[in-house]
Amino acid sequence: MSKLPSKRAETLGGYIVHGIPFPVDTDTESLAFLKRLAPLQIEQDYKITYLHSYGQDSPWFAALSNKKLLANREPESSYTYATPRGHDIYSGAETEWIDITDRQAQVHAFTVCHFGSEEFLPETPFVLALVEFEDVDTLLLTRLMGLNPDDASLDWIGMTVIPKFLRNSQLKPTDVYFVPKMN
């Protein structure tokens, strides 16, 4: 029979705590103080490794990392989605991938974001745009760069834009962004 440890092994780390109130005497009257003790609060960093699958959208992200922009087309109606969609919204039929990297694109609408999530907060203000592609039925929400957000103008609507891709793919929708096409 193996001998059970008599003491739990301790490791380095944990918290350095100062001045947590606790009665010096441990009689019943002194311990009653604990019922009135405010809850202890601990702030700590928390890290988790998250495994995420892009599932049917994987070809779209693979294309971005190869400097290509894909769309999905319904085989029967030819209705085309600028964002990945594996199946027809009405019939459930599988869509087909098409390359729209070199299609004419223009700004359909835009907004200047002065606030953002934690990831984008350091980049504020930035411009989000809905981009319209030739022969594509839906719009793509993306970043519009190369323009000063402080100079936002309705003249930007209809502006011809071209896709640009991050050199080092992050496998995120932000791997593609658009800039004005220089004539």
Nearest to 89 by CA among 111, 64, 72, 112: 72
How high is the pLDDT of residue 1? Answer: 63
Within a domain: residue 149? yes
Q: Is the pLDDT score of 178 beyond 80?
A: yes
Residues 77/78/83/87 CA torsion (nearest 10 deg): 50
Q: Which helix (H) or strand (E) holds 133?
A: strand 126-133
Polymer length in residues for the chain: 183
In a domain, 17, yes or no: no
N- to C-terminal Cα separation, the chain = 84
HSE (CB half, 13 Å, CA atoms) of 142? 29
The domain containing residue 103 runs over which residues? 55-180
Report whether pLDDT(19) > 90: no
Sequence-ordered alpha helix ranges (H) in the chain? 28-31, 58-65
Q: What is the reported pLDDT for 48?
A: 92
Residue 45 placed within a domain: no
Q: Using the 8-state DSSP alphabet, how is residue 61 labeled?
A: H
In a domain, 27, yes or no: no
B/e letters for 100-117, b = 16+ CB within 10 Å, e = fewer, are bbeeebbbeebebbeeee
Q: Is residue 32 part of a domain?
A: no
What's the mean pLDDT in 87-115? 94
- Per residue in 30-46, pLDDT (tens digit) is 888 888 888 888 887 88
50 within a domain of the structure (yes/no): no
Higher pLDDT, 127 or 2: 127
Domain count, the chain: 1
**Does residue 128 contact residue 108 with C-beta atoms inside 8 Å?**
no
Residue 176 lies in a domain: yes
Within-domain flag for 98: yes
- CA nearest 153: which of 107, 114, 115? 107
